[in-house]
Amino acid sequence: MATLTYLQAISAALRDELRDDERVLMMGEDIGVFGGAFKVTDGFIEEFGADRVMDTPLAESAIIGTAIGAAVVGMRPVCEMQFSDFIACGFDQLVNVAGKMHYRQGLAVPITVRLPSGGGFSGGPFHSQNPEAWFMHSPGIKVVAPATAEDAKGLLHAAIRDPNPVCFMEHKHLYRRIKGEVPDGIHETPMTARIAREGSDLVVIAYGAMVHVALEATEDLDGASVEVLDLRSLVPLDTEAILASVAKCSKVVILDEANATCAAGAQVAALIAEHAFEDLDGPVTRVSTPDVPIPFSPPLEQAVLPGVERVKEACRELLAY
């Protein structure tokens, strides 16, 4: 075990995989000589060489398309989108080629697409999005979103070893703020939910950076016993864990940093309404970002992103229902 930051855990997982399996290779903008925009791959090119840690042109479609070709012939490519927002430029290759290859031709496409996502650092509208719902709506693609350093490492191992395309949503605001004990070597975290805190009066369902907001907001909430369920995986979605928490707590707040319409939280709300209506003692409550681009201005950004006080208010209103 070692105490690592969220960023160091991701870097450690990549090193482990490159050392363990010669089929693993990395490609992305500035990941080699420069060591990555966030220094996740700092020193990699010296250890593994430019043929396995490849600097690419500024062309997301080419990065993903090349990775698909490499995967089909037996490699296990890991692509980095410098910011998750830029995945839009590679959308066709990921959704219409990688996501459908198994259905069309019976071929595995074991690519992992690392997507540094989320706001909280005044990055503005082109560097702060949470686009995970785009890929939840696209059959054939798995989507994971770790909240802790341990899960960042374990889920990245699981993603790289999975035969399907996996979108790995790594939240930039967690990179150097969150740290924890992380197992040494390769360990795969299952693509299932985990209970971040046990409770019985209300459950807050979240993933990624919002797990930490949920934990802070409900740490001491007027004596209420509040459960926090960390989804970890969005595709596959752990229906059993979600419904179990709803049955136990009967009141649900869904916390999602993405903008509200058709977000991951909307899918969770629909699931609960369809399968757990009789277990509810109040309306399913959602806390999310309004349908606006993320502002550059720090005060405006904080105004639109879900924060501790908004979560507390939503929980108190539901507990009093």
Q: What is the pLDDT of residues 209-240, one digit of tens each?
A: 999 999 999 999 999 999 999 999 999 999 99
Q: Give, in degrees to the nearest 5, the angle at Cα 311 between 310 and 313.
A: 65
pTM: 0.96
Architecture of domain 194-319: 3-Layer(aba) Sandwich (3.40)
Q: Are 204 and 315 in contact (CB under 8 A)?
A: yes
pLDDT of residue 121: 85
Q: Give, in degrees to the nearest 5, the angle at Cα 311 between 173 and 117.
A: 25
pLDDT of residue 273: 97
Q: Is the dihedral of CA 73, 75, 76, 80 positive or negative?
A: negative
**Known catalytic residue at 127:** yes
Q: pLDDT 10s digit of each residue in the chain, 321 long? A: 899 999 999 999 999 999 999 999 999 999 999 999 999 999 999 999 999 999 999 999 999 999 999 999 999 999 999 999 999 999 999 999 999 999 999 999 999 999 999 998 888 899 999 999 999 999 999 999 999 999 999 999 999 999 999 999 999 999 999 999 999 999 999 999 999 999 999 999 999 999 999 999 999 999 999 999 999 999 999 999 999 999 999 999 999 999 999 999 999 999 999 999 999 999 999 999 999 999 999 999 999 999 999 999 999 999 999
Produce one character per residue of 154-170: b if its CB has 16 or more CB atoms within 10 Å, e if not: bbbbbbbbbebbbbbbb
Q: Which of 88, 66, 84, 62 shows the shortest CA–CA distance to 75?
A: 66
How far is it, in rounded angstroms, from Cα 106 to Cα 108? 7
Q: Are 3 and 181 in contact (CB under 8 A)?
A: yes
Query: In sequence order, what are the residues at sequence separation of 6 or more whose Cβ sits closer than 8 angstroms to the Cβ of residue 44?
Result: 14, 15, 18, 26, 31, 32, 35, 53
| 182 DSSP β-pair partners | 2
Q: CATH 3.40.50.920 spans which residues of the chain?
A: 194-319
**Of 102, 127, 212, 275, which one is the catalytic site residue?**
127
Q: What is the 3-state secondary structure (H, E, C) of the chain?
A: CEEEEHHHHHHHHHHHHHHHCCCEEEEECCCCCCCCCCCCCCCHHHHHCCCCEEECCCCHHHHHHHHHHHHHCCCEEEEECCCHHHHHHHHHHHHHHHCCHHHHHCCCCCCEEEEEECCCCCCCCCCCCCCHHHHHCCCCCEEECCCCHHHHHHHHHHHHHCCCCEEEEEEHHHCCCCEEEECCCCCCCCCCCEEEECCCCEEEEECCCHHHHHHHHCCCCCCCCEEEEECCEEECCCHHHHHHHHHHHCCEEEEEEEECCCCHHHHHHHHHHHHCHHHCCCCCEEEEECCCCCCCCHHHHHHHCCCHHHHHHHHHHHHCC
pLDDT of residue 176: 95
Radius of gyration from C-alpha coordinates of the chain: 19
Q: If you search the block for the tokens 């105004």, which residue do you land on?
A: 303
Q: CATH 3.40.50.970 spans which residues of the chain?
A: 2-182
pLDDT of residue 120: 86
CATH number assigned to the domain with residue range 2-182, chosen from the 4 options 3.30.43.10, 3.40.50.1220, 3.40.50.150, 3.40.50.970: 3.40.50.970
